[in-house]
C-alpha cells in the first residue's frame, strides 16, 4: 500500500517533470504584517488592485501543497480578475517549518479548531484586512486547491459567519481526518462518512446557526491524488447543512457536467463541476472568452476557467455576469448520476468501491 510520503513524492515529481515558462516571484503581492497573534505561524500576502474601492469584496485564496502564494496568484488568474473588477485578494501562505511540503495542515485538530492554529491565523488576517480596506463584510469569499481546498472547507466550517461563499477544488470535506494516516486514507477515498455525519461536524465547529455559506465544488475525474469520492462527500456535507433533498438541475458547461441545487428563491447555493479527464489541479482555460491564468504544475488547461466561473457565481464580475449552465430539457426529471470515474482504475479499486457501496467496507 502506498503511504503519504509516496503521494508527496509524486506531487514533487509532477512539478519537476513540468517545463513551465515562468519564474517565481512575490513582486506582484504585498506582505501583510501585524495581523494578530498568528497561532498558526502563517505568512499573509495581499493583492489590492488600483481599481479597488472601499466596500468592495475580498477573496481569500489558499494554495496547494508544494505551492506558494505567488504560484497560485499568477497561475490561477485571480490577480488578473481582481485588476479588471476591483476586488481585493488575500493569499495566506504556509511556511516550510510548519509543513515541509508547504501543505496547509487541514487534517490537524489543532489547526482546524476555531480559535486555534491555522484557521485562527487566517481569520485574523481577514479581520485586519477587512477593517483596513473597509471591505464589505457581506462580500467575503474563500477558495483553495487540494490541501488549500480542504483548508477552505475548514474555514467555512469554523468561521461560517465570515463568508458569503466558498469554492473547493480537488479538496476534502471538513472533519474527515484528524491524523496523517487518516488524511491519506481519505485522499484515496477510503473511510469517508455519509453527509449527515459530516454536516454535524460542521455544525459543531462553531456556535453559528445559519444561514450557511454557498459552496462550489470542482474535481477532475482522473484525479489520482485526491479521489473524486471526496467531491461527493463534500456535496453530501453541504447539502445536508442546507437541507437539500431534491435532485439537482443538471447541465453542461464547456463540455463538462454541472449540477446545481437552489434555495426556495431560486438562488444557487450548492454547485458541482465534474471536469472530464482532468487530473489533480485547478482547471484553466487559455483560449477564447473567460481565459485567465497560466498553465504550470497543478494549473491545468482543460478548456474551462474555474476562477472565472467561481467569481461569476459570487457576483464579482458586474456586467460580464452571464448564464453559465445550459440546462438540458430533461435534466430535472432525471435521477442524479454518479460522476464519471477514471477509466484506468484497478480491479482492487473497483472491488473496494463495490464493498463500500454494500456497506461491507468503510
Cis peptide before 211 (omega within 30 of 0): yes
Q: Assess whether 56 carries a catalytic annotation.
A: no
Find the angle CA(228)-CA(338)-CA(244) to the nearest 5 degrees. 95
Query: 115 and 127 in contact (C-beta within 8 Å)?
Result: no
Mapping DSSP to helix (H, G, I), strand (E, B) and coil, where does residue 259 land?
strand
- Going 303 to 305 to 310 to 314, the CA torsion angle's sign is negative
Among 56, 73, 79, 146, the one annotated catalytic: 146
- Going 272 to 347 to 8 to 284, the CA torsion angle's sign is negative
Residue that has been written with the C-alpha cell 486547491 in this structure: 145
Q: Which long-range contacts (CB under 8 A, 24 or more apart) does 137-140 make?
A: 137/162, 138/164, 139/56, 139/57, 139/58, 139/87, 139/164, 140/57, 140/58, 140/59, 140/60, 140/164
Query: What does each C-alpha distance from 188 to 25, 34, 158, 359 come to in angstroms?
Result: 33, 39, 25, 17
For the chain, the residue count is 362
Cell of 135: 471591505
Residue that has been written with the C-alpha cell 506582505 in this structure: 31
Q: Which residues, 6 or more positions from 215, have their beta carbon under 8 angstroms from its beta carbon?
A: 156, 165, 166, 167, 168, 234, 238, 269, 270, 271
Residue that has been written with the C-alpha cell 494549473 in this structure: 299
Cell of 275: 471536469
By annotation, the residues acting in catalysis are: 146
Amino acid at each position: 500500500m502506498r503511504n503519504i510520503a509516496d503521494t508527496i513524492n509524486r506531487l514533487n515529481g509532477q512539478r519537476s517533470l513540468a517545463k513551465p515558462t515562468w519564474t517565481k516571484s512575490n513582486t506582484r503581492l504585498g506582505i501583510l504584517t501585524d495581523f494578530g497573534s498568528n497561532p498558526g505561524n502563517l505568512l499573509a500576502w495581499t493583492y489590492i488592485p488600483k481599481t479597488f474601492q472601499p466596500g468592495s469584496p475580498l477573496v481569500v485564496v489558499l494554495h496547494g501543497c508544494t505551492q506558494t502564494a505567488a504560484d497560485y496568484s499568477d497561475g490561477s488568474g485571480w490577480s488578473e480578475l481582481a485588476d479588471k473588477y476591483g476586488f481585493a485578494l488575500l493569499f495566506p501562505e504556509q511556511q516550510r517549518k510548519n509543513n515541509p511540503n508547504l501543505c496547509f495542515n487541514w487534517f490537524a485538530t489543532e489547526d482546524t479548531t476555531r480559535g486555534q492554529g491555522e484557521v485562527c491565523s487566517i481569520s485574523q488576517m481577514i479581520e485586519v484586512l477587512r477593517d483596513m480596506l473597509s471591505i464589505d463584510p457581506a462580500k467575503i469569499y474563500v477558495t483553495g486547491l487540494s490541501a488549500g481546498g480542504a483548508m477552505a472547507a475548514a474555514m467555512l466550517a469554523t468561521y461560517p459567519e465570515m463568508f458569503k461563499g466558498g469554492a473547493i477544488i480537488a479538496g476534502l470535506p471538513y472533519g474527515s481526518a484528524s491524523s496523517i494516516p487518516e488524511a491519506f486514507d481519505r485522499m484515496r477515498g477510503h473511510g469517508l462518512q455519509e453527509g449527515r455525519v459530516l454536516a454535524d461536524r460542521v455544525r459543531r465547529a462553531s456556535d453559528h446557526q445559519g444561514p450557511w455559506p454557498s459552496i462550489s465544488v470542482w474535481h477532475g475525474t482522473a484525479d489520482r491524488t485526491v479521489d473524486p469520492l471526496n467531491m461527493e462527500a463534500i456535496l453530501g456535507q453541504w447539502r445536508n447543512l442546507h437541507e437539500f433533498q431534491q435532485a439537482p438541475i443538471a447541465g453542461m458547461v464547456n463540455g463538462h457536467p454541472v449540477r446545481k441545487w437552489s434555495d426556495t428563491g431560486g438562488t444557487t447555493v450548492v454547485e458541482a463541476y465534474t471536469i472530464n479527464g482532468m487530473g489533480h489541479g485547478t482547471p484553466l482555460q487559455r483560449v477564447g472568452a473567460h481565459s485567465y491564468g497560466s498553465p504550470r504544475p497543478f494549473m491545468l488547461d482543460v478548456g474551462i476557467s474555474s476562477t472565472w466561473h467561481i467569481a461569476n457565481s459570487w457576483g464579482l464580475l458586474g456586467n460580464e455576469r452571464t448564464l453559465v449552465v445550459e440546462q438540458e430539457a430533461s435534466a430535472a426529471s432525471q435521477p442524479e448520476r454518479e460522476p464519471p470515474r477514471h477509466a484506468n482504475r484497478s480491479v482492487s479499486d473497483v472491488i473496494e468501491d463495490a464493498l463500500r457501496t454494500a456497506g461491507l467496507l468503510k
